[in-house]
């Protein structure tokens, strides 16, 4: 990826002190109650017996899995909650992502290797890793995967960021790569404060492009903080985008909101430089279905380095313990969070660690 930017020693991912305390010490130092559970022979998993909404999800106790030859057991520390997980559970992608019911849920995770099977090379017990579960069971206390589905967690990366990185990070990375941005580009990003959108904005900026972000007014201060010119949804959107571009030609668009093909045409953006909602869904489905893959691991390392070393800030706006999984799913389903939502497996953590970073609707604000 052609990245025209300097390391600036920025703040890094936006997290709260209480969340850092609850997650950072899990491999040593603190998190005693969580580590005490490592000797248990049971595991908790999120599962559903039929297609449906949040109410279809159940958390069950099962025997702790053991790795077979060529596999590793990872104790999950954090796992990202994504719209893709919900769409698959709801049956929206039955043709693309067929399920054998009952099924499990979750693809992105980070954790600590607790056991390795025979013939495993390059991964050891106690390694801190992040990656994806090709069996789609990452919303769990333990997963068994092949080493090719994992990379090392960078020491400077928060656990909650690592747990969400695979799906949102690689989706944003691949879509940005497809546009081959340069400093001559001015890019429009819709749903710019969302999980994928806020990373697209920052990656586009890192490539040297100027970015106009379409988002609700309550997200505009956040977008300005990451170097984006914000524009609100509403009438005369094309004119508002042109005004934000300050006379520069608009050369590319990443449409996370959907239905903006006509807007792109009105702005003079060539169809070849429109990354549509369909392109995003195709990318997410491909990543969701991916098995262990060397190229995929290399891409994920690239993304992890950008986050850990180049001041790409993954905004975690909702953090919930696994015991509050349904609250996390509802948070995402209501689309009230900017950035990403994560579940952590430390049962001592309080729900909603990041609520001060949450986007609030007028109703929520007035009802407090």
Alpha carbons 300 and 32: distance in angstroms, whole number:
30
pLDDT band at 24 (very low <50, low <70, confident <90, very high): very low
Residue 296 DSSP code: H
Alpha carbons 366 and 368: distance in angstroms, whole number:
6
Q: Write down the pLDDT at residue 148.
A: 96
Contact 337, 358 (CB under 8 A): yes
Token digits for 95? 């043709």
Asked if residue 367 has pLDDT above 80, the reply is: no
Q: Write down the pLDDT at residue 85.
A: 94
Predicted model pTM: 0.85
Asked if residue 209 has pLDDT above 60, the reply is: yes
The rounded percent of the chain whose pLDDT value lies above 70 is 82
Asked if residue 111 has pLDDT above 90, the reply is: yes
Asked if residue 357 has pLDDT above 70, the reply is: no
Q: Which CATH number fits domain 17-165+314-358: 3.30.1360.120, 3.30.200.20, 3.90.180.10, 3.60.15.10?
A: 3.90.180.10
How confident is the model over 281-331, as pLDDT tens digits? 999 999 999 999 999 999 999 999 999 988 899 999 888 999 899 999 998
Query: What one-character-per-residue DSSP string does 110-126 give?
Result: EEEEEEE-TT--S--TT
Q: Write down the pLDDT at residue 360.
A: 30
Measured CA distances, 105 to 85, 159, 173 (Å) = 6, 20, 23
Q: Write down the pLDDT at residue 38.
A: 53
Mean of pLDDT over the chain: 85
How confident is the model over 225-268, as pLDDT tens digits? 999 999 999 889 999 999 999 999 999 999 998 889 999 999 99
How confident is the model over 162-185, as pLDDT tens digits? 999 999 999 999 999 999 999 999
How confident is the model over 131-162, as pLDDT tens digits? 999 999 999 999 999 999 999 999 989 999 99
Smallest CA-to-CA distance from 172 within 191, 153, 150, 186 is with: 191
Distance, CA of 213 to chain centre: 19
Q: Write down the pLDDT at residue 30.
A: 35
């Amino acid at each position: 990826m052609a990245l025209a930017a300097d390391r600036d020693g920025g703040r890094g991912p936006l997290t709260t002190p209480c969340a850092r305390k609850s997650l950072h010490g899990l491999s040593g130092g603190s998190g005693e109650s969580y580590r005490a559970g490592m000797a248990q022979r049971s595991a908790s998993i999120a599962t559903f017996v039929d297609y449906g909404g949040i109410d279809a999800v159940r958390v069950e106790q099962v025997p702790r899995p053991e790795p077979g030859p060529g596999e590793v057991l990872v104790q999950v520390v954090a796992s990202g909650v994504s719209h893709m997980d919900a769409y698959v559970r709801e049956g929206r992608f039955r043709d693309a992502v067929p399920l054998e019911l009952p099924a499990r849920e979750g693809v992105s995770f980070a954790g600590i290797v607790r056991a390795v099977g025979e013939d495993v090379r390059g991964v050891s017990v106690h390694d801190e890793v992040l990656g994806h579960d090709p069996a789609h069971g990452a919303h769990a206390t333990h997963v068994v995967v092949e080493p090719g589905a994992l990379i090392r967690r960078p020491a400077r990366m928060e656990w909650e960021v690592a747990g969400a990185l695979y799906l949102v990070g690689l989706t944003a990375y691949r879509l940005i790569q497809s546009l081959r941005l340069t400093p001559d580009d001015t890019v429009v990003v819709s749903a710019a404060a969302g999980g994928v959108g806020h990373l697209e904005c920052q990656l586009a900026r890192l490539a040297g492009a100027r970015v106009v972000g379409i988002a609700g007014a309550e997200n505009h201060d956040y977008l300005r903080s990451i170097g984006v010119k914000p524009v609100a949804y509403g009438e005369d959107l094309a004119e508002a985008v042109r005004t934000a571009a300050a006379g520069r030609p608009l050369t590319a668009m990443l449409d996370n909101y959907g239905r903006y093909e006509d807007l792109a045409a009105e702005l003079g953006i060539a169809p070849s430089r429109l990354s549509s909602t369909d392109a995003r869904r195709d990318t997410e489905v491909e990543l969701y279905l991916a098995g262990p893959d060397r190229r995929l691991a290399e891409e994920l390392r690239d993304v992890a380095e950008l986050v850990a070393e180049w001041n790409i800030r993954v905004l975690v706006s909702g953090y919930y313990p696994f015991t509050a999984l349904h609250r996390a799913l509802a948070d995402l389903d209501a689309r009230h969070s900017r950035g990403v939502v994560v579940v952590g497996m430390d049962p001592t953590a309080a729900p909603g660690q990041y609520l001060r970073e949450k986007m609030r609707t007028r109703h929520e604000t007035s009802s407090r």
